[in-house]
Amino acid sequence: MRPRLHLPELEVGAPLDGHPIERVGRARALVYFGRGCFQVVPDRPVVCTSVDVLARVERNHRCGTDVKIYQQGRPDQCEESLFDELRALFGLSERQADGHFVDYTALLRDGAFNASVEDPLYQRLGRDLADLSDDERAVLWQQLRRHWGRVLGHETVVTIEKVGSDVGSLTEGIGYLTDQELGADVLEYQPGQQCVLQSRVAYYDPPRVDGPNVRGVQRLGGNITDLAMNQAGAYCELIRLRPEMIRSGSIIPIPAGVSLACAALAEPTACLLDCFEKTTHELGQDDCGSILRKGVLPGGATCVIGSGSMALMAAKVALMTDGVIDIGGAREVAVVVRSEDKARLVRQVVSDDRVVPIVCDGSSDLLAAVRARYGDRYAATFGRPFRGFDDVILAAGMSETLAAAHRLIGPTNARIMAFAGTRGPCELESGVWHYHNAGVLGTSGCNTKMIEIALGLFARGSLDVSVLAGRRYTFDDLAAPGGVEAFFNDKHLRPFLAYNA
């Protein structure tokens, strides 16, 4: 039987997700179809129903997670939801087997059927598509690429273009705003208003303390939804922001005076702030016990391992002074990099005499290299021999780096912030924690409060992250031969996708 696509009716007035469509548009989008396969789709449909907000994407930065997805794929969340959408488009019920997503793309796009793939859904599609001519297959793929595939992208700033006529009815908060009755302060969006987005619409545990504006604690391991993984993200000229985004407070207005260059980096800044906020140092003792302070040890020595944009941001936050959020205040920050070129980049971007680049090419012993190249400087600054750092922040995602960090911490009250995403085993001496009173903290993403805090830092002038923006790419750049590969392989700071204008 010839396959028939069950495409949604995308016309003004037609129902979609239980609500009437009020606007239909077309936009260019960078669409994910599996590991190593992103394509620019020139006419991706974007709609706004009566309970949506439609926004124009001003710029979207490429996240390190996006690079990993380009290189390795994303079997959870993203591909799981794409299989659900594929079944709906073809009207099928068979289940998929894990690990074969790239085979589906090859089948649907090129007609390349792999008979050895033991996957009920794949086998069914292979049978249904077997008799299509080349022309019929090309038409099928053109339809699929407009309606299927995932638009990723979440480090973004947007301008609201349309507010659905019934958005004001979405008064029951979810996620970050659970148990809140939403009023005009949340729901009165206006065309022309510029916002940043929290893509992770997470579940939250109730707060365990009372107080004004106290929110709950974000749960990890299963979200209500995720804008860039389950719906459609910001690698597109237009973005549909659905009720889950609105009811969770995930569309966050940009304060006056904050540049778009800073605002677009609010989400990665918030991810780093989340790590600082959850790290504590003991500053003293009083009648109630230990006096703890969040962030790096004030007046201490911090080490950052890495040379990317997040490493440079970590150095800036460690040195930061802010009258509201007290998490910085290191006396000096050593940044461990792999080359003299990277050392020059650190000096150029951070531009602070308190930052000391240390070159270690990876083949030498990290601790020995740090002692040899930083020991005299440390002694001159702190008046004592170097025995380790008060804080080590990982911004290089290898498990071996986590093990190496344990050798760099000082003997008392030191902390390791395992910010970078790592996978795989590593060997370390567990006695370091016990005998040093040391702590190791890992964080994943950010909660919505951290985005609000990041925007506050920008507004007060306490932190400027605009210097971390890399090359600007347009959809014309991506559509050119090799453009997508260049975008995902660009290693200079935080490249971003923007309008052609």
pLDDT for position 397: 67
pLDDT for position 382: 96
155 domain residue, yes or no: no
Q: Which residues of 1-29 are buried (b: 16+ CB within 10 A; e: fewer)?
A: eebeeeeeebeeeeebeebebbbebebbb
Question: pLDDT per residue over 448-463, tens digit each?
Answer: 999 999 999 999 999 9
Mean of pLDDT values over 366-382? 92
Q: Encoding tokens for residue 401?
A: 């780096």
399 domain residue, yes or no: yes
Question: How sure is the predictor about 288, in pLDDT bands with cuts at 50, 70 and 90?
Answer: very high
pLDDT for position 421: 66
pLDDT at 478 over 90: yes
486 domain residue, yes or no: no
Going by DSSP bridges, is the β-strand pair 415-418/391-394 parallel, antiparallel, or unpaired? parallel
pLDDT for position 381: 96
Lowest mean pLDDT among 181-185, 313-317, 419-423: 419-423
**Geometric angle at alpha carbon 206, from 200 and 210, rounded to 5°:** 125
Pick 239 or 440 by higher pLDDT: 239
Question: How sure is the predictor about 258, in pLDDT bands with cuts at 50, 70 and 90?
Answer: very high
Question: How sure is the predictor about 75, in pLDDT bands with cuts at 50, 70 and 90?
Answer: confident
Mean of pLDDT values over 318-337? 96
pLDDT for position 178: 94
Rounded alpha-carbon distances, angstroms, from residue 185 to 161, 250, 263, 471: 19, 13, 20, 36
pTM of the predicted model as reported, rounded to 2 decimal places: 0.93
pLDDT for position 95: 94
Look up the CATH number of the domain holding residue 363: 3.40.50.720
pLDDT for position 404: 84
The beta-carbon contacts of 65-73 under 8 Å, at least 24 apart in sequence, are 65/421, 66/152, 66/153, 66/488, 67/488, 68/421, 69/32, 69/35, 69/152, 70/35, 70/36, 70/38, 70/488, 71/35, 71/36, 71/488, 72/35, 73/34, 73/35, 73/36, 73/101, 73/102
Domain that holds residue 311: 279-442
Mean of pLDDT values over 420-427? 75
Rounded alpha-carbon distances, angstroms, from residue 15 to 23, 51, 132, 377: 12, 12, 32, 67
235 domain residue, yes or no: no
pLDDT for position 2: 65
343 domain residue, yes or no: yes
pLDDT for position 184: 87
pLDDT at 349 over 60: yes
419 domain residue, yes or no: yes
Mean of pLDDT values over 171-194? 94
Mean of pLDDT values over 237-252? 97
25 within 8 A of 207, measured Cβ to Cβ: no
pLDDT at 363 over 80: no
Mean of pLDDT values over 174-189? 92
Question: pLDDT per residue over 93-129, tens digit each?
Answer: 999 998 899 999 999 999 999 999 999 999 999 999 9
Mean of pLDDT values over 493-499? 93
Question: pLDDT per residue over 55-64, tens digit each?
Answer: 999 999 999 8
Provide the percentage of residues in the chain whose pLDDT is more than 70. 98
The candidate with the shortest Cα–Cα distance to 318, out of 346, 345, 285, is 346
pLDDT at 491 over 80: yes
Task: Burial-class residue 459 by CB neighbours within 10 Å (0-12, 13-18, 19+).
Answer: middle
pLDDT for position 314: 96
Rounded alpha-carbon distances, angstroms, from residue 305 to 78, 121, 282, 312: 30, 45, 23, 10
pLDDT at 131 over 90: no
Mean of pLDDT values over 467-492? 95
CA distance 103 to 37: 12
Question: How sure is the predictor about 419, in pLDDT bands with cuts at 50, 70 and 90?
Answer: confident
34 within 8 A of 73, measured Cβ to Cβ: yes
The candidate with the shortest Cα–Cα distance to 38, out of 48, 28, 53, is 28
148 domain residue, yes or no: no
436 domain residue, yes or no: yes
Pick 147 or 444 by higher pLDDT: 147
Lowest mean pLDDT among 386-390, 395-399, 476-480: 395-399
Mean of pLDDT values over 279-303? 96
Lowest mean pLDDT among 46-55, 279-288, 376-385, 413-422: 413-422
Number of domains composing the chain: 1
